[in-house]
Structure formats: C-alpha cells, structure tokens
Amino acid sequence: MFAAMDRIGLVPVRALAELHAVNSRDIGWGRNRPASGLYLLLDQVHFDRSGTPVAYSKTYFVEGRFQFVLVRTR
C-alpha cells in the first residue's frame, strides 16, 4: 500500500493509532476464529508532512496472537 501511495506522491510521515479491546462474535470467520470473540482493534490514520490525512485503517487482531510495542516520546 505504501509503495502505491509513494508512486502517486502521497507520503505518510506520521500516524495516530488507537488500540482497543473488542469482544464480538461477528468479526472473525473460519476455523481459526477465537471461541472467546476477543480481538484487538488497531484504528489508525496516516498523515503527510502538511498534516493532511492520507490513509485510514481499522484492523482487527486475534487477542493473544500478536504483540504490540508502544514507544511514547515527548
């Protein structure tokens, strides 16, 4: 996705992301769907140098199968 954005001049330089716990039986499918219905939702917006949003995504991850590392700076 980012390579395609680069080709048309959209260059994200920062992102704002929120991580939420979600409990739903309507999100997943297939035999790897968690019986618990627990997911982590990564909700993010990417911005270009001028602060214009250039991409938005909502991605669900199965709880316990992914690790997120947050780096906070001031």
pLDDT in tens, 6-63: 899 888 999 999 999 999 988 988 888 888 889 999 999 999 999 999 999 999 999 8
pTM above 0.85, yes or no: no
Q: Where are the beta strands (DSSP E) in the chain?
A: 14-23, 38-47, 53-62
* C-alpha span between 71 and 74 (Å, rounded): 10
Report residue 9 CA to chain centroid gap: 22
Domain positions in the chain: 2-62
